[in-house]
Structure 1
Amino acid sequence: MSDGRERILGAVRRGLGRPALSDSRRAVLDQRIHGGEQNPLRPALPARPLAELFAAGVEKVAGECLRIADRDQAPAALKTWLEAQGVAAEARMAPALAGLDWAGAGLSVTEGASAGDDLVGVSEAVLAVAETGTVILRSGPETPTTLNFLPDYHVVLVDADRLVGHFEDAWVVLRERLGNDWPRVINLITGPSRTADVEQTMQLGAHGPRRLLVLLAGA
C-alpha cells in the first residue's frame, strides 16, 4: 500500500475510533479483494450463454444490442442503424477505434473528446456485465469520457470475450488487467440516461444520451 493511501486510511480509522487491521484480518480482506472468495449472495444466472444474457439485459433497460461476427463489421452495422434512425452518418469516436474502416462504410468520423455538439459518440468498453446489461468504460486519451455522456446517441463497441457474469467478476478481471495502471475514471453505464422525477413519468435522455446502442462483437 502506498504511503499516501496508508495516511488517508489511517486518518479514517482514527476518526471512526477503530484500530489498525490485524495481520489475520488484512489477509482475509486481501483474499476477498483479489477474488479468492465469491460473494454467496450474488444471484444465480440462467443457464444461457453470456452473450444472450447480456443482450437481453441491455434491452431490458431500454438500450439496444446488435450482435456482430467481429469488430470489422462495426462500421457497417453502425451505418445501417443510423440510417434506420434517420440520423446522418456522422460520429465522434474514441481514438482507440481508429483502426476500423469507418470511412469505407460510408461514415464521416472525427476522433477525440466531445465538446457537446456531437449527435453520435462511439466508445469502446473494457468489460461488460451480463447480469445487468452494463458496459464498463475507462477514461483516458484513447477513450474520452465525454463521448459517454454528451452526445444524444451513445454507441459502445465491446468484444464478447470481455463479457463477465456478475459485477464481482468484473472487479476481479479489472484488477488483473489493469494492475497498477488504473484510469482516473471508471464508468458503469446501464441503459440510456433517464429520470422519472416529473410526475413519475419516465423520460430518456434527461442527463445524458437518450439512445444507447451496444455492438457486441464475436458473439
Structure 2
Amino acid sequence: MSKAEILANIRHGLKRGAATEAQREATLERIRAHKPTIIPKRSQLDQPGQIQLFREMASAAAAELIDIQSLNQLPSAVAAWLNQHQFKTLVSASDECLNQLDWSALGEINREQRVARSGDLASLTTSMAGIAETGTLMLYSRPESPTTLNFLPDCHLVLLKESDIVGSYEDAWNRLREKHPNSMPRTVNMITGPSRSADIGQKLQMGAHGPCVLVIFILRDV
C-alpha cells in the first residue's frame, strides 16, 4: 500500500477530506517557522574545527577515512580500496558528480549503476552533509541514489566534501530544507559508522543491520 493510500484511509477514518489550500499553507508556515533545538556546545565551532571534530567522531565510530585532494582522484582511490579487498563489482549511485569522472582506473572492476541487491559487496554513494556533532553522514533517497545502496551491500563507500561538513544536526536539516523547500525527500538516512548491535549477549556484532564497513572519501578543500 502506498503512502497516499495510507493517508487517504486515515482521512476517511477521521471523516476528513483532502487538505484545502489554506490548510496546506498553514502547515508549510509552521514548518518554515521551525525553531532550532538546543545546539551542543561541542559542535559550535568554526569550519576547520567542525571538520576536525567530524574526523574524530567518525573515526571513533569505526568509519575508515580516506583523503582525496580533488574529485578526479576518487576513481583511483576507490579502485585501490576495492583491489585491496579483492572486490570485482561496485554498485554505484549515478549522481552527476560521479558520472562526469573517468572510471577507467577501475580496470576489470565492474561499476554498475543500479539499485543494490542481496549479495552485493560494495556500493558507492555521495552524501549531502557530514555532521560534526556525532561524525554522522546525512544521505537522502532519489532516483539516482536509491536507499538500497546505503544498507544492502557489506561495504558502503561514501564521498563527502569538506565544504559539506556542518556542526550540528540542525545545520544539516536546514541545508536539506533549503535544497528541498517545497517537498522533502522520501527517505533521509543518518549513518554513523558501520552497522552494529550488542543486543545478543552484550557482544558487539558489526554489520548486524547493514554494512559492516563504512569508508568515507573526504574531498579536501584546497
Q: TM-score, normalised by structure 2?
A: 0.78
**Residue 40 (structure 2) aligns with:** 42
TM superposition shift of 1:40: 4.0
- Let me know the Cα RMSD of the aligned residues: 2.5
Q: Mean alpha-carbon deviation: is it higher for 170-179 or for 145-154?
A: 170-179
- Pair 1:118–1:125, CA change in 2 (3 A): same
Distance in 1 between residues matched to 2:195 and 2:72, nearest whole Å: 28
Which 5+ residue runs of structure 2 have no aligned equivalent?
1-6, 15-25
**Cα 1:27/1:117, change in 2 over 3 Å:** closer
Alignment correspondent of 2:69:
69
Partner of 2:100: 99
Aligned pair partner of 1:174 in 168, 176, 184: 176
SS of the residue corresponding to residue 117 of structure 1 reads coil
Using the TM superposition, give the Cα deviation of residue 160 of structure 1 relative to its aligned residue in structure 2, in angstroms: 1.5
Task: Give the secondary structure class of the aligned counterpart of 1:49.
Answer: helix
2:162 aligned residue: 160
Would the aligned equivalents of 2:39 and 2:168 in 1 still touch at CA under 8 Å? no
Query: Which deviates further from its counterpart, 106-115 or 119-128?
Result: 106-115
- Taking structure 1 as reference, are residues 99 and 41 closer, same or farther at Cα in structure 2, changes over 3 Å only? closer
Task: Give SS of 2:208's match.
Answer: coil
Counterpart of 2:198 in structure 1 is 196
d(CA) in 1 for partners of 2:178, 2:32: 14
1:53 and 2:53 correspond: yes
Name the % identity.
35
Q: Is residue 162–residue 219 contact of structure 2 (8 Å, CA) maintained in 1?
A: yes
- The reply to whether residue 185 of structure 1 matches residue 187 of structure 2 is yes
1:41 deviates by 5.0
- Structure 1 gaps of 5+ residues are 12-22
Q: 1:29 to 1:75 in 2, by over 3 A?
A: closer
After TM superposition, the score normalised by the length of structure 1 is: 0.79
Q: Find the aligned partners of 1:27 and 1:115 in 2 and give their Cα distance.
A: 40
The residue type paired with residue 101 of structure 2 is: L
1:58 and 1:191 in contact (8 A); partners too = yes
Matched letter for residue 178 of structure 1: H
